[in-house]
Amino acid sequence: MTAVDKGRAEGPAQRAQPSSAAATSGDRRNVNAGAYPARRPAAVRLEHVTHRFGTFTALEDVSLEVMPGEFVTLLGQSGSGKSTMLRIIAGLTTPSEGRIFIDGRDVSDAPTQRRGIGFVFQNYALFPHLTVFENIAYPLRIRAMKGPELQRRVEKVLARINLLGFGDRYAAQLSGGQQQRVAVARALVYEPSVLLMDEPLGALDRKLRKHMQIELRQLQQDLHISCIYVTHDQEEALTMSDRIAVMRAGRILQIGDPVTVYRHPVSSFVADFVGSTNLFDCRVREVLGDGSVLLETAGRIAIRAPTFPGVAAGRACHVAVRPEFVRIGEGAVEIAFAARVEKVTFVGNVVDIRCALTSGELVSVEVAGNRKDLVAVGDQVRIGWDGADMGLFPAP
C-alpha cells in the first residue's frame, strides 16, 4: 500500500460525492456510506475530472470514488469516455482539469509507475516473442527485479491463474482464454493496489467470456484488490460489479449497485441502455387530485401513473417498463390494455412476444422459455403491468 498523505486523509463526511447523479440514484447499498473505517481513504478518487482533445470534450466534470476491494464497472457506448477515464487514472493521459487520488495520495502529477496500478488494456496483446513466464515477468524486470524473488512472484501468479507449467509456452500456443489470463497475471504480478481492466474479455466467445467473468471476479475478491472495469456489455456489468457507473458522452449518468441501476434507473436513457425496456413517449393529459396523473401515449392510449416533480398538463415524459414485468393473459394488473400478438420469438431461456396495442404501439413481453406455446400470432390478449414496475421520466 502506498503511504497516505495525512494532510489529505479524510473521513466520509468530507468526501466528495461519487457524482451528482449518485446522490439522486436511490443507491440503497451505497458502499461509500459508513461501511469502512472512517479514516480509510478511497482506493481511487477522481475529483472533477474534465478532459478535452482539442475542442472536443471526452470527459466532463467526472467525480468518482472506488472503495478498497470494490469492483466498479464503467458501462457505456463506444466513445462515451471509458478508456479515457482509465488512462487518466493510470497516468497515461493528463486530464485538462481535476485531481486523481490513489489510497488517499494525490497522484495527479505522479508518473504511471508510481501509481501502484495494474492495467489490462483494451485489445491486450502479449509480447509474441516472449514466453508466458517472460510476459508476466516483464513489469518486474522493468522495475529491476531479478533472481529468486522474480521467479517466486511469477510462479505465484501463474498458480493463481491456473497456468503453472505453461511458463515456457509462447502466446501463439495458448487459447484466447489462457492469453487473457496471462494478461491479467501480467497486471497483477507486482501486486498493485488497484487493477484497471479495459474490455479484457472483448475478444472471447460468449461461453468462455461467461466463464472468465466468474474467474476474474473470484480472483479480484480473493486478492481483495480494488478494480475499475470497462465494458459496453450490460450483462457483464450486472454480473460482475459491486457498483456500475453508466456513462454517456463523457459523463456519469448514474452510479449504483446492479439491482438499483436495473430496477431504478434515473433516466429513460439508463433504463434503455441497461437491459431492454419498452419506452412510450407520453404527454400529461390531466393532473388528477389524488396524487396521480393521466398520461396519453403518442398513439393516444391512456396510462394512469403517480405524479412527478414539475408535473403540468401537456408536459412530455417517458414511461418505461421492462419486458419481463409485462404480464400477458394472467391475473389482475393495475394497468391493462387490449393487444394483438404480432410475433413470437423463441430465444431459448426466454420467449419474446411482440404485441400491438389498439393504437399500433408495440410492446415486448418476455416469458420463460418453457411457456413457448402460451400464445400464437394473431391472438387477442390482455397485457399489462403494475404501477410499481413502471418507470416515469419527465422529458428533459
Ligand X SMILES: Nc1ncnc2c1ncn2[C@@H]1O[C@H](COP(=O)(O)OP(=O)(O)OP(=O)(O)O)[C@@H](O)[C@H]1O
In the complex, minimum distance from the CB of residue 59 to ligand X, in angstroms, rounded to a whole number? 8
In the complex, minimum distance from the CB of residue 53 to Mg ion, in angstroms, rounded to a whole number? 14
The count of C-alpha atoms lying within 13 angstroms of the C-alpha of 212, restricted to the half-sphere facing its C-beta, is: 22
In the complex, minimum distance from the CB of residue 209 to Mg ion, in angstroms, rounded to a whole number? 17
Three-state secondary structure call for residue 276: coil
Q: Which is nearer to ligand X, 153 or 251 (CB)?
A: 251
76: partner contacted, choices Mg ion, ligand X, none (Cβ within 5-8 A by kind): ligand X
b/e for 322-343, b at 16 or more Cβ within 10 A?
Answer: bbebbbbbeeebebebebebee
* Cα–Cα distance measured from residue 248 to residue 163, given in angstroms and rounded to the nearest whole number: 38
Q: Which three cell numbers stand for residue 50?
A: 474534465
Which positions touch ligand X (CB under 6 A)?
53, 56, 58, 76, 78-84, 122, 232
81: partner contacted, choices Mg ion, ligand X, none (Cβ within 5-8 A by kind): ligand X
Q: Which is nearer to ligand X, 58 or 163 (CB)?
A: 58
Judge whether 391 and 320 are in contact, CB under 8 Å: yes
90: partner contacted, choices ligand X, Mg ion, none (Cβ within 5-8 A by kind): none
80: partner contacted, choices Mg ion, ligand X, none (Cβ within 5-8 A by kind): ligand X
Q: Which is nearer to ligand X, 68 or 200 (CB)?
A: 200
In the complex, minimum distance from the CB of residue 55 to ligand X, in angstroms, rounded to a whole number? 10
Q: What is the largest CA-CA distance in the chain?
A: 79
Three-state secondary structure call for residue 75: strand
In the complex, minimum distance from the CB of residue 82 to Mg ion, in angstroms, rounded to a whole number? 5
Q: Which is nearer to ligand X, 53 or 308 (CB)?
A: 53
* Cα–Cα distance measured from residue 17 to residue 32, given in angstroms and rounded to the nearest whole number: 9
In the complex, minimum distance from the CB of residue 118 to ligand X, in angstroms, rounded to a whole number? 18
In the complex, minimum distance from the CB of residue 19 to ligand X, in angstroms, rounded to a whole number? 16
Q: Which is nearer to ligand X, 249 or 357 (CB)?
A: 249
Q: Which three cell numbers stand for residue 124?
A: 491486450
267: partner contacted, choices Mg ion, ligand X, none (Cβ within 5-8 A by kind): none
Judge whether 99 and 108 are in contact, CB under 8 Å: yes
Q: Which is nearer to ligand X, 199 or 361 (CB)?
A: 199
Residue that the C-alpha cell 390531466 belongs to:
286
Q: Which is nearer to ligand X, 96 or 122 (CB)?
A: 122
Q: Which three cell numbers stand for residue 263?
A: 430496477
* Cα–Cα distance measured from residue 72 to residue 89, given in angstroms and rounded to the nearest whole number: 13
79: partner contacted, choices ligand X, Mg ion, none (Cβ within 5-8 A by kind): ligand X
Which positions touch Mg ion (CB under 5 A)?
83, 122
In the complex, minimum distance from the CB of residue 81 to Mg ion, in angstroms, rounded to a whole number? 9
* Cα–Cα distance measured from residue 313 to residue 295, given in angstroms and rounded to the nearest whole number: 9
Residue 112 identity: T
Q: Which is nearer to ligand X, 18 or 76 (CB)?
A: 76
78: partner contacted, choices Mg ion, ligand X, none (Cβ within 5-8 A by kind): ligand X
Comparing CA positions, the residue from 391, 330, 395 lying closest to residue 365 is 330
373: partner contacted, choices ligand X, Mg ion, none (Cβ within 5-8 A by kind): none
State the helix-helix crossing angle for 132-141 and 176-188, rounded to 10 degrees: 20
32: partner contacted, choices ligand X, Mg ion, none (Cβ within 5-8 A by kind): none
Phi, psi of 140, rounded to the nearest 5 degrees: -75, -40
Distance from the first to the final alpha carbon of the chain: 44
In the complex, minimum distance from the CB of residue 198 to ligand X, in angstroms, rounded to a whole number? 7
Q: Which is nearer to ligand X, 249 or 279 (CB)?
A: 249
